Amino acid sequence: MIRTAKLALEDGTILEGEGFGAETIKAGEIVFSTSMTGYVAALTDPSFKGQILMSTYPLEGNYGVSSDWYQSEDIKAEAYVVRQVCNEPCHPKSEKTLSEFLEENDVPGISGIDTRALTLKIRELGSMKAVVANADISDEELLKILEEQPRLEDMNLVEKVTVKEPKVLQERKEYNVAVLDCGVKKNITDHLIAQGVGVTLVPATTSAQEIFDMDVDGVLVSSGPGNPENVEIIQDTIKEVSQKMPIAGICLGQQIIALTFGAKIFKMKFGHRGSNQPVKDLKTGRVYMTSQNHSFSIDENTIDDTDLEITQINLNDGTPEAIKHKTLPISCIQYHPEAGPGPHDSKVFFDNFVNTIKEYKGNKG
Amino acid sequence: MPKDENIKKVLIIGSGPIQIGQAAEFDYSGSQACKSLREENIETVLVNSNPATIQTDIETADKVYVEPLTAEIVAKIIEKEQVDAILPTMGGQTGLNIAVDLDKIGALDGIKVLGSPIQTIKDVEDRDLFAEFMDRLNEPIPKCHAVNSLEEAFEAVEDIGYPVIVRPGFTLGGTGGGIANNKKEFEEIVIHGLDMSFNDQVLIDESVLGWQEIEYEVMRDKNDSCIIVCNMENVDAMGIHTGESIVVAPTQTLSDEDNQKLRNASIKIIKALGIQGGCNIQFALHPETREYKVIEVNPRVSRSSALASKATGYSIAKVSSKIALGMTLDEIRNDITKETPASFEPAVDYVIAKVPRWPFDKFKTSSGELGVQMQSTGEVMSIGRTIEESLQKAIRSLDIDQDAFEYVEYTDYYLEHATDQRLFYVYSAIKDGRDIQELADITKISPFFLNKIKSIVDCEEEIQKQGVDILKDPKMFRKIKQFGFSDKRLGQLLDLTEDEVSKARHDLNIIPEYKMVDTCAAEFEAKTPYYYGTYDSPSDMKTSDNKKIAVLGAGPIRIGQGIEFDYCCVHAALALKDENVETILINNNPETVSTDYDISDRLYFEPLTKEDVLAVLEQEKPDGVIVQFGGQTSINLAESLNNAGVKILGTPFESIDMVEDREQFTEVLNELGIPQADYGIANSFDEARDAAHSIGFPVLVRPSYVLGGRAMEIVYDDSELEEYMKEAVKVSKEHPILVDKFLEDSIELDVDALCDGEDVYVCGIMEHIEEAGIHSGDSACVIPPQSVSQEIIDQVEEYTKKLALRLGVIGLINIQYAIKVDPEPKLYIIEANPRASRTVPFVSKSIGIPIAKIASKIMLGSKLSDFDLVNYADIKHVAVKESVFPFLKIPDSDSVLGPEMKSTGETMGIDKNFGLAYYKSQLSASNNLPTEGKIFLSVRDLDKPKIAPIAKKAKELGFDLIATKGTAEAAPDVDIEVIRKVSQGSPNIRDAMLNGEVAFLINTPSGKQSADDGYIIRRLAVELGIPYVTTIAAANAVLKAIEEASNGELTVKSLNEYAE
């Protein structure tokens, strides 16, 4: 039985489509991603908290859902907008259909939407508030929900996705890393574990002292959802910890680190989301294909007044993609070296981080 | 880092004639390469023997050589032009082979090889080197062993494990192999295979049959930056050549995990090979375990890369060329967006479907079974927002008289063993309610795709259930259109006419919107996108108000409608640009130059049907449409476009009808006093017999309104006629059969002329080498004519002028004549076509005048007197066109020529006299004429009186002769060794050929049946690559050519020099 579902946008547009997933209504900021594979990883990426994901690729659900691909325990995106959803997936790993997966997670989906037309709208008007209703609801009520929905930049989303208690993911090793969980992805911690280091996930609110008490050798500030300015507390931690050990940051992590050292952040018109973003290493000239998912960026013009320097840039729009501290062992990137979804080209980030830790500890000790 | 400043002049190697497996895609890539290099101020030299290419236009490169593609010849060009580097990776396998051969003969000393180093080419081309290389990289490939005995075979299978594929090393038609799942089967197949093999060898391959076939198009620059332009998934599993498979892009059933795994392997391989530019990598992926094997690596642009380029908007050839010069991906601009760099991976927001076009209508004896050998001649690409839409659009792009999936009778055998009909068999099985999983097991097609066909079936059932009311429901109607159903198909389902459905649709204002191919899924603004029609949203596209003209393309390349027509369409677009008129191009062939985004102002990648074309025209509202250049595909649309009120430029639609309707045409000829052979028109066997009797056998029979001589035959008696009529009725139900007196032993002439309504310019008269009765597309021909009297030539010109003016031709006309000596030579007209013919590029290059461009300008109102024209008879050189045939690729096909066209492409030989030009044309067609050795003669009785002078001449040239008894006796004065026929026991001619004793064959066919001795000899010649001719006329030409060629070395001369 096909249910008629609705998608309403902040500019008053109301689109009809077919509902799938949970019969519910969810609001958030609508964003598009151009990745052609990896919907399971994207939906479960905590960075999508507060956002309605729309895939520009028109066919989703083709290879079903496997828990192997989860980036967190459940779906974090608020809703999913697609052109066509596949209900007969075909993959040996598939455990359920995309629709079943959404239903299980109480997330509504809408298909039959002209996603390209909507992408063009977002490209022109910027990301906006939206609501997906896979339920009977009048247009007026829908628009009312929309009106009441706060803006993404005003929300503190990190607190919704961070761990409540420290969690040991990998028992102590010769070198140990604390991951400041702003909404970490499983691939990030998996990559660290694969480096042979001990890994402990800690809440985003963990203080520097608590980290020192854990006796770790480095801190990774993870990716996560929302506005970096809304998690000021992390800046204090970073400032203090950076005097004692190497720090790395990914995505939201980079933005928070940049803020910590005086750079400014701005909200992009519609962000970067996809698996094909070209990033150039300014030193080697090599270009990497990267997986990206961010709404905010460092304002490159504010870097000069800080102790930070840009080491990599995005070739599409020139925004900073990687920065490092001129004196302290801090380096971070705006994209996702852990992939999931997306290319594995920049895995070297984890090698570099762990090597920095080793060197730093060696020099110190 | 900018480009290497030491490279100033580059030789680009083309791919030669269009053949199965190597088609128009390399014209596209070579042309792109020239354009790309010239943008960087590199001086370009191009060599290709195929005149029907845009790349051999003198505007494309600084110097263009139409010369044979052999290392010796290319070395002469390198020497003469003093190039700094060669770029072989744009010329397909031919390009790579020549590069390796050039290296072998030492012609590359001090010359840079751009793109792929010679060692890389060797590493991937040589089976053993490839295995070693992949082993070092730790990338898995299917194991393979070559063995010479059963014992060795058992050792091999021990290493590989069952199942294995056993292939005899060398057999007639590649027969004698099979798949062995166990020891018993294995033993049987190996013994049989060893027996069948001419070199007592069988190859034992690890079987990956039934695995998914996936392709990646990778690019790399000198900084080691790598990108994947596109990945593609074959709908047909391993075991069917990717050129034979239905392919979708991007991949559909690969998870991100699978995708990244293969992406990583692709990047690892291209880095290890050190390729600077593009590379195609094919993988087999196990549908369950997800284990993969690397199947093939092509260190060059390919058919797949052309498809990937058109599928994404990312020009692999263009970017590869710049990388080859030393530029890096981030220094090169993305041509579609103009703002972002080429260092990114295209994101698509649509689904591409590619479906091959097969030539089995031309080879009646072939089973149509598909396998590891490519047999298709061309392909279509369609774009839609869903698989359902793309597949349905692809079917109607094929131009196979079928507008959609249609129910046909099928067997389980043919579900399992794919043929050209497979898509329809699968559809029919699903329509019958067969279980999807069961069908997946039989066909090895993923249930994912089968379910998509099922949803089309379900939708059809819903449509029929709801009946015509569905056409009043805007929501449902739109949804149906979103599934790709054509109005015509909906009409079939609802018992309505296409026009009725179309009207209902327009009443609801459901019209296609045109979405963009923009490389980036709308993330960035596109400056030069191209378009496809879909029904997602109501259309809101803005088009320009400038003067604009639409050009209809020719669709997929097939026998009878080849690259020549694309060449003409491109010329039309370029000519319109010259006149500051905007061009709209509609075509669906991804291999061609016409579907390059920078040829037209707006390209629509759409099926060439009435509905799809009219929709584009309604959107664009052009000032006129050119239908003269897209072969029969576009001509066939003339009537419906005309009826819809579209302005057809140039020759009026009525003139097209006038020549295609035989009765009207006869009236015109009578009025003008132009003789034609006696003929009759028949709708039944009885009528055909009566016609034949009143005219007298032999007669040439064919359905009216077909191109490429499809279903054309010469019949000699009633029984042959009866048999023919049975078949012909199947071919064309709507049009009657024409019965023409066959002018035996006459010389055929082909004429291309331009007419502006007042004046006529005869561009060229071509004399055919082979006699009338052999399709003009299959015959070699020469400009200027070599053996025709001035009197006849004058008559040809006169008839041509009269007819062109009478028909009101505005643009091009092609007329075929025959000269019958009876006993005085008399000229007959055979047929006239008021449109561009397949000889247009050949004539243009022979006389150095772009006649398709002039035709386009005439259609816009120019007059012939506005142009600087030359008389073809005044050219100081001789140009020969030779045809190239697919016999090697089509198992069991006979290489005899007849009225049904079989050639896939053509070569051009150009030199100071006929002998040399013909020699070059043969060399280009891989007919490497010998200058010494043994010639084998065996001719039919009819030709025996003509064999003595040929034998004598061959002797004079120093050849030894062997012949069958009858043929030898026909030349009693010549010393000929008699050899047995195959049917007369060993040792016989077959053994002599296998032992390499025969340098050349002259064999003329005796009858229609192909199971005779002649067939075996011809087939063996094809498979062994022994040059041969099957007509007396060609034998004479060959001897003349050998005589000239033995008089000294071949020299090379550019078209630019010929034009001076």
Give the pair of three-digit tokens for residue A81.
């907008």
Q: What is the pLDDT of residue B543?
A: 80
For residues B649 and B544, membership in a common domain is answered with yes
For residues B184 and B254, membership in a common domain is answered with no
Strand order across the B212-220 sheet: B292-298, B277-285, B212-220, B226-234, B247-249, B351-357, B378-384
* Residue of chain A whose Cα is closest to the Cα of B338: A316
Q: Does A101 lie at the interface with B, CB-CB under 8 angstroms? A: no
Model confidence at B361, pLDDT cuts 50, 70, 90, reads confident
Cross-chain residue pair A59–B252, CB shorter than 8 Å: yes
Q: Does A275 lie at the interface with B, CB-CB under 8 angstroms? A: yes
Which own/partner pairs from B221-224 qualify as long-range (CB within 8 Å, at least 24 positions apart)? Answer: B221/B276, B221/B323, B221/B327, B221/B328, B221/B329, B222/B1, B222/B276, B222/B323, B222/B326, B222/B328, B223/A284, B223/A285, B223/A286, B223/A287, B223/B1, B223/B328, B223/B329, B224/A286, B224/B271
Q: Does B663 lie at the interface with A, CB-CB under 8 angstroms? A: no
**Which residues in B lie closer than 8 A to residue A284 (C-beta atoms)?**
223
The SS3 assignment for B403 reads coil
B346, B379, B402 — which closes off a domain?
B346
Q: What is the pLDDT of residue B1010?
A: 42
Cross-chain residue pair A315–B536, CB shorter than 8 Å: no
Structural domain tally of chain B?
A: 6
B742, B773, B796 — which closes off a domain?
B742
Cross-chain residue pair B256–A342, CB shorter than 8 Å: yes
**Which residues in B lie closer than 8 A to residue A38 (C-beta atoms)?**
255-256, 259
Cα–Cα distance for residue pair B483/A112, rounded to 1 Å? 12
Percent of chain B with pLDDT over 90: 78
Measured between CA atoms, how close is B454 to chain A, in angstroms?
Answer: 11
B742, B760, B778 — which closes off a domain?
B742
Cα–Cα distance for residue pair A176/B896, rounded to 1 Å? 78
For residues B633 and B577, membership in a common domain is answered with yes
For residues B970 and B1011, membership in a common domain is answered with yes
CATH number of the domain that residue B982 is part of: 3.40.50.1380
List residues of A with catalytic annotation: 251, 336, 338
At CA B100, angle to CA B99 and CA B101, rounded to 5? 90
Which own/partner pairs from B178-182 qualify as long-range (CB within 8 Å, at least 24 positions apart)? Answer: B179/B207, B179/B209
User: What single-letter amino acid sits at B309?
Assistant: S
Cα–Cα distance for residue pair B652/B813, rounded to 1 Å? 12
Cα–Cα distance for residue pair A62/B480, rounded to 1 Å? 21
Q: Please, which residues have CB within 8 angstroms of residue B1048's CB and are 6 or more apart in sequence? A: none
Range of the domain at B188: 144-206
Q: What is the pLDDT of residue B1009?
A: 46
CATH number of the domain that residue B222 is part of: 3.30.470.20
Closest Cβ opposite residue A41 in set B256, B263, B350: B256
Give the pair of three-digit tokens for residue B131.
């295995």
The upper half-sphere exposure of residue B150, i.e. CA atoms within 13 Å in the direction of its Cβ, equals 11
Average pLDDT over residues B1041-1054: 93
For residues B179 and B226, membership in a common domain is answered with no
Q: Which of residues 24-83 of A touch B (CB under 8 A)?
A: 32, 34-38, 40-41, 56-59, 62-63, 66, 68-69, 83
CATH number of the domain that residue B725 is part of: 3.30.1490.20
For residues B240 and B187, membership in a common domain is answered with no
Neighbours of B887 (CB within 10 A): 20
Question: What pairs with residue B819 in β-bridges?
Answer: B747, B827
**Which residues in B lie closer than 8 A to residue A98 (C-beta atoms)?**
none
Q: Tell me the ipTM for this assembly.
A: 0.97
Cα–Cα distance for residue pair B1011/B1021, rounded to 1 Å? 15
Distances (CA, A) of A168 to A200, B430, B507: 4, 53, 66
DSSP symbols for A118-154:
HHHHHHHH-SEEEEEE-S---HHHHHHHHHHSPPGGG
**Which residues in B lie closer than 8 A to residue A340 (C-beta atoms)?**
256
Average pLDDT over residues B458-476: 96
The residue with tokens 């931690």 is A237
Q: Please, which residues have CB within 8 angstroms of residue A246's CB and are 6 or more apart in sequence? A: A217, A218, A219, A329, A330, A353, A356, A357, A360
CATH number of the domain that residue B587 is part of: 3.40.50.20
Which residue in B304, B299, B300, B303 sits closest to B273, CA to CA? B299
For residues B213 and B341, membership in a common domain is answered with yes
Residues in chain B: 1060
Whether A65 contacts A313, CB under 8 Å? no
Q: At residue B810, does pLDDT exceed 80?
A: yes
Which residue in A246, A186, A256 sits closest to A226, CA to CA? A256
For residues B16 and B107, membership in a common domain is answered with yes
What does residue B287 show for φ and ψ, rounded to 5 degrees? Answer: -65, -25
Question: What pairs with residue B294 in β-bridges?
Answer: B283
Q: At residue A11, does pLDDT exceed 60?
A: yes
Cross-chain residue pair A59–B515, CB shorter than 8 Å: no
Whether B878 contacts B914, CB under 8 Å? yes
Average pLDDT over residues B349-353: 98
Average pLDDT over residues B135-152: 93
Q: At residue B612, does pLDDT exceed 50?
A: yes
Which residue in B348, B277, B280, B279 sits closest to B319, CA to CA? B277
* DSSP annotation of B649: P
Domain annotation covers residue B936 = yes
For residues B225 and B170, membership in a common domain is answered with no
Cα–Cα distance for residue pair B893/B7, rounded to 1 Å? 47
Domain annotation covers residue B202 = yes
DSSP symbols for B558-609:
BTTB-HHHHHHHHHHHHHHHHTT-EEEEEE--TTSSTTSTTTSSEEEE---S
For residues B188 and B278, membership in a common domain is answered with no
Whether B694 contacts B652, CB under 8 Å? no
Q: At residue B1, does pLDDT exceed 50?
A: no
What does the pLDDT look like over B150-184, one tens digit per residue?
Answer: 999 999 999 999 989 888 877 665 566 788 889 99
Q: At residue B796, does pLDDT exceed 90?
A: yes
Q: What is the pLDDT of residue B174?
A: 57
pLDDT greater at residue B337 or residue B229: B229
Domain annotation covers residue B455 = no
What does the pLDDT look like over B481-529, one tens digit per residue?
Answer: 999 999 999 999 999 999 999 999 999 999 999 999 999 999 999 988 9
The residue with tokens 């090889």 is B113
Whether A51 contacts A157, CB under 8 Å? no
Q: What is the pLDDT of residue B140?
A: 96
For residues B652 and B541, membership in a common domain is answered with yes
Domain annotation covers residue B587 = yes
What does the pLDDT look like over A24-66, one tens digit per residue?
Answer: 999 999 999 999 999 999 999 999 999 999 999 999 999 999 9
Dihedral sign, Cα of residue A95, residue B353, residue B461, residue A116? positive
Q: For residue B341, is the peptide bond before it cis, meaning its omega torsion is within 30 degrees of 0?
A: no
Q: What is the pLDDT of residue A319?
A: 97
Model confidence at B732, pLDDT cuts 50, 70, 90, reads low
Give the pair of three-digit tokens for residue B738.
């024409």
Domain annotation covers residue B825 = no
Which residue in B64, B73, B68, B72 sits closest to B30, CA to CA? B64
Cross-chain residue pair A285–B253, CB shorter than 8 Å: no
The upper half-sphere exposure of residue B789, i.e. CA atoms within 13 Å in the direction of its Cβ, equals 10
The residue with tokens 């089976």 is B127
Average pLDDT over residues B423-427: 97
Q: Does B390 lie at the interface with A, CB-CB under 8 angstroms? A: no
Which residue in A29, A237, A3 sits closest to A133, CA to CA? A3
Average pLDDT over residues A286-293: 96
Domain annotation covers residue B187 = yes
Cα–Cα distance for residue pair B973/B951, rounded to 1 Å? 9
Q: Does B150 lie at the interface with A, CB-CB under 8 angstroms? A: no
What does the pLDDT look like over B889-921, one tens digit per residue?
Answer: 887 788 888 888 999 999 999 999 999 999 999
For residues B536 and B635, membership in a common domain is answered with yes
Q: Which of residues 278-297 of B touch A (CB under 8 A)?
A: 287-290
The residue with tokens 């998870």 is B255
Cβ burial of B182 (10 Å; 0-12, 13-18, 19+) is exposed
Whether B1002 contacts B1029, CB under 8 Å? yes
pLDDT greater at residue B985 or residue B634: B634
Cα–Cα distance for residue pair A132/A120, rounded to 1 Å? 19
Q: What is the pLDDT of residue B172?
A: 61
Model confidence at B695, pLDDT cuts 50, 70, 90, reads very high
Q: Please, which residues have CB within 8 angstroms of residue B206's CB and are 6 or more apart in sequence? A: B142, B143, B144, B160, B161, B164, B165
Domain annotation covers residue B459 = no
Q: At residue B784, does pLDDT exceed 80?
A: yes
Domain annotation covers residue B629 = yes
Give the pair of three-digit tokens for residue B777.
């597309």
Neighbours of A267 (CB within 10 A): 16
All domains of chain A, ordered by start, with CATH?
A: 3-149 (3.50.30.20), 158-364 (3.40.50.880)
Cα–Cα distance for residue pair B297/B270, rounded to 1 Å? 9
Average pLDDT over residues B993-1004: 93
